[in-house]
Amino acid sequence: MRRSTAGAVLGLVIALTILLLAGTGEAQSGLSISVHATGFTTPVAVVQDPTNRAVQFVVEQGGRIGVAQSGARLPTDFLNLAGSVSSGGERGLLGMALAPDYASSGRFYVNFTNSAGHTVVARFRRSATPLVADAASRFDLRWPTGNRFIEQPYVNHNGGNLMFGPDGFLYIGMGDGGSANDPENRAQTPGTLLGKMLRIDVNVPDDPNPASPTTAGYNVPANNPFVSSGPAGTLPEIWSFGLRNPWRFSFDDPSRGGTGALVIGDVGQGSYEEVDYEPAGRGGRNYGWRNREGAHDNVTSSPPVFLPLTEPIHEYNHSVGQSITGGFVYRGRSLPATFQGRYFFADFIRGRVWSMGLTIDGAGEAHAANVTEHTGELGGSTQLGNVSSFGIDTDGELFIVSYSTGRILRIISLTPAAPTGLRIVRP
C-alpha cells in the first residue's frame, strides 16, 4: 500500500472515530487512567500525606485507614476503627482530613457513624511511627447538644466529608438526617446541624482534661455568618443551609492558582443531582433543599428559612446518573493546559466521569461551561467502577477512588507535556 493511500485510510478511520464519539456525546481529550494502588475494601477517600509524596491514606468504609506507599498497600493500617464504626449502606468511616500543620502537629480528623448510627468527628494524632496513628489519642468533638456525636434520625444521608479550607478552618458536610424528602425539614431548620455545611476552628490546645463535659475541642470562628445575625436560633457552627447530602466537596486551591471557592456535589432525591459553587469566604447561603432539588421546585409546603436561594451551577437528571460524587478543580500540571481550572466530578451509580469549565464573572460567581464526559477514554464504567471519591497528590494530580473494585486510579494524559526551556543551538 502506497503512503498516500495509507494516509487517506488513516484519516478516514480517525474521522469515523470522531463521528462515533460525537454520537455518544463523549469527546476524546487525550486522557486515560493508570492503576495506582489495589487491595482495598470499599474505599471512600484517598488523602495525600503532605510529609511524604510517596504515601497516601486510603479510607475504607468498614473502619480501616490503609496506607499506599509507592503504589503498594502496606500490611499495617494507619488506623483501625472497625470496632467503633457501624458500617453498611451509607454508614461507616466516611471521611478524613489532615490538619494544615500536620507535619508538625500530627493531628488529623475522621468522620464516622458510631455503633448507634450517629455522626462522630474525632481528632487523632499520628504516633512516633509516621505511618501509624496513635489510637489512644482519640478525642471526639462535643457539639451544642452536649453530646460527642451528632444525632442521626435515619440510616442514610450522613454526609461524611470533612476538609480544611484555605482559611485554616475545618468544614464538615452534614446530610439532612435521611429518609426521603427531609420529612422534618431539617435542612431549613436553624437549630440543627443536619442539612448544613459546618465551619469550625480546631486549632485549639490539647485538652488538659479531655473527659470534661465542657471541653468541645473547637471554637466557633467569630466571622461565621450566623454568629450574630440570621434566623433566630441558628447554631453558630453553621456555615450554610439547604443541603441534602453533600457527600463530597472541595476547595479550588489558591496555593496552586485557584480561587479558593468551595465546590459541592450535593446528592439529589429522585430526579436531579447538582453542583453548588461558593466563592471564597461567602458563607451564609441557602442552597434550597428541600424546597428545591437542583434548580426545580420540590417540597414547597413550608417556606425556606430565608431567601434568596442559591441555585446550582450545574445539574443532571436521573437518566444520566443517580448519585453525584463531587471532585476537584484541576490545578496540576500533567494534564493538557486546557484542563486548568476545570472541575472533575462523577456519578457513583453509573460509574461516569465528567469535567466542566468554570467561567467566573465579575462578582466571583461561576457558570458551568463545556461539560465533557471522559468515561470512555478513562476505560469505561466497568474499569472505573462505582466512583466514591476523588483525591489529589502532592502535585495536584487527580486520583479516582473506585469503591467497587477496591482500586485507587490516576487520571493521566496520553499527550506528552510540552517541553520547556528550549533554546536554539547554532552550529
Q: Give the integer Cα–Cα distance in Å for 84 and 92.
A: 10
Q: Are the C-beta atoms of residues 214 and 148 closer than 8 Å to each other?
A: no
Q: Give the integer Cα–Cα distance in Å for 57 and 67.
A: 5
Q: Which CATH superfamily is domain 26-413 in?
A: TolB, C-terminal domain (2.120.10.30)
Could you tell me the residue ranges of all domains in the chain?
26-413
Show pLDDT as tens, one digit a residue, over the chain (427 residues).
333 333 333 343 333 333 333 333 576 789 999 999 999 999 999 999 999 999 999 999 999 999 999 999 999 999 999 999 999 999 999 999 999 999 999 999 999 999 999 999 999 999 999 999 999 999 999 999 999 999 999 999 999 999 999 999 999 999 999 999 999 999 999 999 999 999 999 999 988 776 677 789 999 999 999 999 999 999 999 999 999 999 999 999 999 999 999 999 999 999 999 999 999 999 999 999 999 999 999 999 999 999 999 999 999 999 999 999 999 999 999 999 999 999 999 999 999 999 999 999 999 999 999 999 999 999 999 999 999 999 999 999 999 999 999 999 999 999 865 554 555 555 5
User: 12 φ, ψ to 5°?
Assistant: -65, -45
CA distances from 295 to 1, 50, 192, 425 (A): 57, 38, 24, 58
pTM: 0.92
Q: Give the integer Cα–Cα distance in Å for 265 and 248.
A: 6
